[in-house]
Structure 1
Amino acid sequence: MAENEFETLLEINNNPNIRYYYAASLLNQSKYELALKQFQILNKIDFDYNDESIWYTALIYIRKEDYDNAKAQLKRLNSKNSVFKAKERKVLLEKL
């Protein structure tokens, strides 16, 4: 299972890109709380998939009906002038 492989890799090399894929694999298995914890770790640092990490964090918050935190993450992407999912962010912010 990919989740286990990523855990093993992270023990050897605490690489944020590996952690991102680990979080994504958790998200794909609907392990939202575990994925959120990994994305929160990633959101404190700058790395290759930072914008994607913030985006998925916002989506998990929406799933949890934690709209304030979801909005905060979406606005954080806006403040970075990120082009990642710009149209989708605008729509989500209008609906929240």
Structure 2
Amino acid sequence: MKTYFSLKGILNSAGSADTQPLTPRDMLLDDIRKTQCALETAYSGFDNVTDPDLIDCYIYEVNSALKRYRFLLQQAERMQLYEESPLDSSDCYDSKSLVHQPIMNA
């Protein structure tokens, strides 16, 4: 099993001390993006393990990420962000597969 750690976010945030502080909206969208990536990583790990203990570990990890993701979507709905195109998470996967979109009556 391969684990990938990226320094891109750490290095970019360390060198940008003069940027604007994040708004609650931006922080929430960033949390949703990170949770989507964590969920994708958990699913990928689950698909690649065969040891029963690791399978159980990834089941818990997927369930944990799904719970957090649902919570963040509820927060976004309360902030009325759910109608927007929420994220560009092309670095992880297609965000439309997990995005809560309201049903529009024609």
TM-score under structure 2 length normalisation: 0.29
User: Higher relative contact order by CA 8 Å / sep ≥ 6: 1 or 2?
Assistant: 2
Q: Which has the larger radius of gyration?
A: 2
How does the TM-score come out when normalised to structure 1? 0.31
